[in-house]
Amino acid sequence: MTRTCFILLCILIHVASIAQNKGGAIGSWRGHFDNHSVKTVIKGDEIYVATSFQIIKVNERTGASEWIDKTTGLHDIDIEHIAWDPIQSQLIITYANSNIDILKGDQLYNINAIQLNNIYADHKINSVIIKDQWGFVATNFGIVVLDLVKHEIKDTWFPNLNQQPVITYDIAATSDSLFAATENGIWSCPLKNNWIVANQWAKRANLDNKNLKRIIQKNNSIYTYNASEIYKLPAETYVYKTVNSNILNIDTTLSDLLLCLQYPNNKGALVQFNKNYTTTVLLDSNLLAAPVQSLANNNNFWIADSTNGLLLKSTTLQWMNLGGPKSNINGLLSINENNLVAPLFTNPGFATLNENGWNTISQIGNTKLPYFYSTSISKLDNSFWFSGNNGIYHLNSNNTQLEYINPNTLNGYYKQITFDQKNALWAIQDQVGLARQINNNWSSIALPGNFINKGLDKFVVNNQQQAWIIAPNKQGIYVYQSKDNFTTEKWKQLTTQALNGNLPSTNVTSIASDKLGNIWVGTDNGIGIFNCGDLATDPCNAYIPIVKNNGFNGYLFQKETVNCISIDGDNRKWIGTNNGAWLLSEDGLEIIEHFTKNNSPLPSDAVLQIVISPNKGEVFFSTTKQMVSYIGTATQGAQKQNIIQIFPNPIPPSYTGLIAFRGLVENAIVKITDLTGRLLYQTTALGGQAIWNARTYEGKKVATGIYLVLVRDQDGNEKGVGKIVIAEGY
C-alpha cells in the first residue's frame, strides 16, 4: 500500500508524574490563575474543565475540585483543547504552541513532535477527537494520528485527492467513516479496522462556499455547521439557521443537540435542537454571555462561558468556584502575614489571597468599588489602603467600611502608596509630587519647578524617611529628604553622571529598599545600589556591582531590563526581568536561583512584580501571563522566639522534600539532636526560617524516631525547643 503522509519521526515523549501541591513544602509551586474565562468542559472519569492556564477536575457528586497546571506538572500554558479517552482512562491536552500532554492517573506523557516539527510552517492544532485507541488531531497541515496506547504519533493523513498539506479544522467519525472539515470543503474516507482506506478520500456535498469549519457525529449521522447554519450530510440545504446570533458550539451528550449561541451585546443562550428541527431555550442571556461549550450528564448541565466561568444547572443554578481571582491582576500588589492584596486595575475592586483561598471584592455594602492602582496594608491594624485616580481609599480591617480621602485639591492621579518604618502613609501623585499622612493629618510635598512631574508612578521610602522616586521620561531618580532624620529638607535628582548618581542608566524601571536601608535601583542596563546619608551635605552615588558569569566580569544585569526588585527575610534580592526571575545573595554577587519558563512553572519569562510572604517565605511572581508562587527558603525573623513552627511534622513516609523550621528569631542558630543530646546537624536560619534535609553532617539519612530542635539567637539569649517526628519510610 502506498500513501503520501508525514510521519513525525522525531518523536519526543517525556513521562513524568503529576505532583500534588503540598501547600507549604519548600520548593513547591502554586498557580494563581484567573479562571473566569472557560474554554471547554467534558466528561471523563470526572468533569474536566479547561481554562487557558489550568485543568480543573471536578467531582460531580461532591463538587470537590483539583487544579492541574504547570505548577503541578503540565508542560505548558495556553491550553486549547481537551478530550477524554474512555478506553485508556486518560485526558488528552493540546496547547496553543501545538504541544500535547496525555494525563493518565498521576502519570503525564508529553508528545512535542508537532510543536518541534520544521516541515510545516504552520502546525496549529484546531481540534482533537478520540476513536478507539486513536486520537485524531486536526492541524493546519492535516490529521495527525496518535496511538493512545503507546503514547506516540502513528501517522499523518491529508484529507484530499492529491495528498498535499491542507488546513483541517475539525474531525468526526461514524462507525465506518472519518469526516474532515477542511479549507477545501468537507471530505470523508472509509474506515476499516479503525484505519482509513488509503487514497479513498472523497468530497462530501457541494458546500465549499459555506465556511463550514465544525463537524460532529450524533447517532451515526454527521452534522456540519458554521456561525449561523447547520447541515446534516449529505443534504446541501441547512436544517437550522439562526437569527441574530452565532453558533459557538454544538454538544452531542444529550439525546438532542445542544446549541451554544451568542447574541449581540455580550449575551448568550443554551438552546436544545429537537429532532423535529425546532428549538427549546434552556438558559437565556440573563445568565450567559459567551457559552462556548456545554455538557449534559446525570440530569446536570455544565456550561462553559468564556466571559463568566462555569455554570452548573441542576435543580438550581450555580456558578462554580474555579479558584484564583476573578480577573487578571494588573495593579501593584502588597502582602503581610495574613493577606496578599491585589488591585485588579483594569477591573473595579481587588482580590485577596489568604488561608481560605482567593476572594474577589467589587462592592462593599451598597458601594461599588472604583478602579484601584496600588495597595498597602497598615502594620497597625492590618487594614487595606488603596490608591485610585481620584484619591485614596481606606477599607477597615473588617472589610465593612470604605473611607474616601482626597489629601489635597490638586489635579493628578494617585499611583503607588506605601507605609514607612514609622507607619506614616505616603502616596505619589502624578503631576504633583508626594502626599504624606502623619497622625491622620495629610500634607502635600510638591516637586521642584525644574523637575518633570508628568508620569510619576513608583517610589519607595527608606529607613531614613527619604522618598526615592522613579523620575518620568528616563530622567533617573528624584529623592526627597524630609526633616525626620536630617536638619535640612532637600530634593535631589540623580543621573548617570559620575558625581551625581552614577546610575547605570537614566531609564529607571524598578526600585526597592533592603533591610539595611540600601536602595537598589533597577534600570534597562542593570542595577545600581545606593547607601546615602544627608543629601544636603554628602555625595550620593551608586555602587554598581561587578559579577563573574561564565568566566567574564560584568556589571550586575548589564544590558538587562530589571522590571522589579524584592527583598526576602534574609535580605537576599529577588529580581524580575524579561529573562525570568533571579535570586541573588545579600550583596548581589552570587546567583542562587534563576527561574525561567523552561526550567520552572513560570508561565512567562517576563516577570513584572515580585512580593514575598514574610512569615511563610512564599514568593509570588506576577508575569505577563498571570501569577504563580514558589515556597522559598527565607522568612522574616521574629522579634521574640516563641513556638518553633515545623513543617511538616510529623514527617509522613511519602514526604521527600526539605523540612522547614519557621518563626525563628533572625539568623538563629538551629541544632538538631537525638534524644540523648547527640548533635546530628547544625545550621543558621535564613532570616526567620531554617531548613534541613533530614541528614547528618556526614550526609547519612536519619532513622525513624523523635528528634529535638534547639534554637538560640546569635547572642545566646532568645531560646526555643521543639520536637520533630520522622515516620518510618521517610
Answer for the pair 426, 374: CB distance below 8 angstroms, yes or no.
Answer: no
SS3 state of residue 113:
helix
259-263, 395-399, 604-608: least confidently modelled range: 395-399
Q: What is the mean pLDDT of residues 496-504?
A: 95
**What is the per-residue pLDDT for 714?**
87
Q: For 98-127, give one letter per residue: b (16+ CB within 10 A) or e.
A: bbbbbbbeeebbbbbbbbebeeeeebbbbb
Cell numbers representing residue 73 in the block: 506538572
DSSP label of 116 = H
Could you report the per-residue pLDDT of 414-431, keeping only the tens digit for each? Answer: 999 999 988 999 999 999
> Residue 198 pLDDT more than 80?
no
CA dihedral over 534, 528, 591, 548, signed as positive or negative? negative
Write out the H or E segment, with its range, that includes residue 115.
Answer: helix 113-116
**What is the per-residue pLDDT for 550?**
65
Q: How far is CA 238 from CA 168, 186, 205, 218, 233, in A?
A: 22, 15, 12, 16, 9
Cell numbers representing residue 284 in the block: 437565556
> Residue 212 pLDDT more than 80?
yes
**What is the per-residue pLDDT for 444?**
94
Parallel, antiparallel, or unpaired: how do β-strands 317-319 and 309-313 relate?
antiparallel
SS3 state of residue 106:
coil
**Mean of all residue pLDDT scores within the chain:** 92
554 or 512: whose pLDDT is higher?
A: 512
- Environment class of 554 (CB within 10 Å of its CB; exposed 0-12, middle 13-18, buried 19+): middle
**What is the per-residue pLDDT for 8?**
40
SS3 state of residue 149:
coil
Could you report the per-residue pLDDT of 40-55, keeping only the tens digit for each? Answer: 999 999 999 999 999 9
**What is the per-residue pLDDT for 3?**
36
Answer for the pair 653, 644: CB distance below 8 angstroms, yes or no.
Answer: no
> Residue 162 pLDDT more than 80?
yes
pLDDT bracket for residue 536 (50, 70, 90): very high
SS3 state of residue 114:
helix
- Rg over CA atoms, the chain: 30
pLDDT bracket for residue 729 (50, 70, 90): low
Centre a 10 Å sphere on the Cβ of residue 536 and count the other Cβ atoms it contains. Answer: 12
3 or 518: whose pLDDT is higher?
A: 518
